[in-house]
Amino acid sequence: MFLATKAADTSRPVLDTSGYSHRVPETDIYDSHCYEQDPRVFGELMSGLAKDAPFVNPEDETPDITWSVPYRGQPYFRSEFGGIWWNPDEAQAAGEDRLVSWGYGQRPRDEEDFHERFAGLTGVLLNNPDMFGYCYTQLTDVFQEHNGIYRFDRSGKLDVTRVREAQQRSAAIEDR
């Protein structure tokens, strides 16, 4: 599919697959998913890109299988990060012991904790001069996965002005 896409339009970069594995050596873009919630640890995981050793999804569960072709210095982006588990309605209605939703990491204590974590994780990516872009997981909640910026019905659940402000400054790659 990658080669067919490249043949159909040679003017645009093509990503062979998003996130977990790369199978096509010619892929124009390299990426991976990482849901680490601690900005300090996240920063350490992202630091290898400067040494041409970017974070790749681990092969721990199947060490006899190589998931990805090696990184060749392509433009790199974090195609999924964050996924912070936040559903203020559920916390109020059901109590912590009866939650039916999920997201990544520990639930934030409150909305302020969410914004601090979001700004910290986003800051790691914006500060990395080798990271050309990112995609937050998710824009909206999906079924039991309550880690979006908006609820499943697209109504607001966070202060989106603060979400936007955390992303407004120039990325380090733009200052090159």
The model's pLDDT over 25-35, given as tens digits with 9 standing for 90+, comes to 888 999 999 99
Least confident of 10-19, 107-116, 119-128, 156-165: 10-19
Residue 79, pLDDT score: 92
Query: In the chain, pLDDT over 70 holds for what percent of residues?
Result: 90
Using pLDDT thresholds of 50, 70 and 90, give the confidence band for residue 63: low
* Distance between CA atoms of residues 29 and 17, nearest Å: 9
Residue 7 has pLDDT above 70, yes or no: yes
Residue 25, pLDDT score: 87
Q: What angle do CA 37, 39, 42 make, to 5 degrees?
A: 75
Tokens of 44: 């350490």
Residue 111, pLDDT score: 95
* Distance between CA atoms of residues 138 and 101, nearest Å: 14
Question: In terms of DSSP H, where are the helices of the chain?
Answer: 2-8, 39-46, 88-94, 111-127, 160-165
Mean pLDDT of the chain: 88
Residues with Cβ within 8 Å of residue 67, at least 6 apart in sequence? 20, 21, 56, 57, 59
| Rounded mean pLDDT, 107-120 | 96
